[in-house]
Amino acid sequence: MDPTPGATPRVSVCLAAYNGANHIEEQIRSILAELDIHDELVVVDDKSTDNTADVVRSIQDDRLRLVQASVNAGYVRTFERALGEARGEFVFLSDQDDVWIPGRVETMISAMDGKDMVASNCEHFDGPLGTFHEIRLRAKDSDHSVRNIIGIVVGYRLHWGCAMAVRNRILNQVLPFPQHMAESHDQWIAMVGNVNRSIAYLEADTIRHRLHGENLTPRGIRSASKIIRARVAFIRNILEAMRRARKAARPA
């Protein structure tokens, strides 16, 4: 399961997997249906204790590449590793248990319109909606970078990583993830896009996001201490994103 030799992918999909055997095949097949012959799907398995890796290996497709971690690193570092493996011009993030809506790749690439990132909305299914699931992005907010950054910190501007895509050229600012960051890699990526004033919001749903008991996004309001810690981390992320943007803007 190696990429086609000698071909550079236009699209890379980065999927972080852990104990996802129940749904990962459906997700992978919905992704592969969206990819061209030289594109790639990179699955990083975070040392699953079920047969996730076996399910992935059973799907015979040259565009699919399985990377197996030797230790369990958690979902944030697994996504970081997956993004580091991407070779394509356009890089999509993916969870292990969703379903891509047909036409997603071209819809999102078109919506970028020269910007470095795009974030869409999700159609949530297979479980009860929580507070966070009702938050939706609006296209008219794409250019309101300061407002969007404040919204991330406060909590009213939510970005789903599984509904995001970036240009490979911005990964030098996205990676590595800040060492202090233990959650919300998707909000970090969105901060980088907003700090660079280069993110587009797509109002359409481009994935069906499965809700179940093992989803990591909380359905309700967290404790005050967790909220404060998260907000402090977000502020640190803003400062780090600004530092990296300044460094990237310096003449070589």
Structural domain span for residue 174: 11-249
Under 8 Å CB-to-CB from 44, ≥6 apart: which residues? 14, 15, 16, 17, 67, 68, 69, 78, 79, 81, 82, 85
Q: How many residues does the chain have?
A: 252
Q: What is the pLDDT of residues 120-133, one digit of tens each?
A: 999 999 888 877 78
Kindly report the average pLDDT of the chain as a whole number.
93
Residue 130 within any structural domain of the chain: yes
Report the pLDDT value the prediction gives residue 214, as an integer from 0 to 100.
Answer: 58
* DSSP codes, 166-217: EEGGGHHHH-SPPTT--S-HHHHHHHHHHHTT-EEEEEEEEEEEE--TT-SS
Q: Are 16 and 69 in contact (CB under 8 A)?
A: no
> What Cα–Cα distance (Å) separates residue 110 from each residue in 163, 202, 237, 249?
15, 10, 28, 25
Residue 4 within any structural domain of the chain: no
Residue 49 within any structural domain of the chain: yes
Residue with tokens 């895509």: 165
Residue 103 within any structural domain of the chain: yes
Cα 47 from chain centre: 20
How large is the angle between the packed helices 185-195 and 75-85, nearest 10 degrees? Answer: 50
Q: What is the pLDDT of residues 201-225, one digit of tens each?
A: 999 999 999 997 554 444 455 677 8
Phi first, then psi, for residue 211 (nearest 5°) are: -105, 130
Residue 228 within any structural domain of the chain: yes
**Quick check: 4 pLDDT over 60?**
no
Q: What is the pLDDT of residues 18-46, one digit of tens each?
A: 999 999 999 999 999 999 999 999 999 99
Domain count, the chain: 1
Q: What is the pLDDT of residues 146-159, one digit of tens each?
A: 999 999 999 899 99
Lowest-pLDDT range of 127-141, 156-170, 176-190: 127-141
pTM above 0.75, yes or no: yes
Residue 141 within any structural domain of the chain: yes
Q: What is the pLDDT of residues 58-71, one digit of tens each?
A: 999 999 999 999 99
* CATH assignment of the domain containing 50: 3.90.550.10
Report the pLDDT value the prediction gives residue 224, as an integer from 0 to 100.
Answer: 76
Q: Are 88 and 11 in contact (CB under 8 A)?
A: yes
Report the pLDDT value the prediction gives residue 219, as an integer from 0 to 100.
Answer: 47
Residue 147 within any structural domain of the chain: yes
Sign of torsion over alpha carbons 93, 124, 20, 180: positive
Residue 72 within any structural domain of the chain: yes
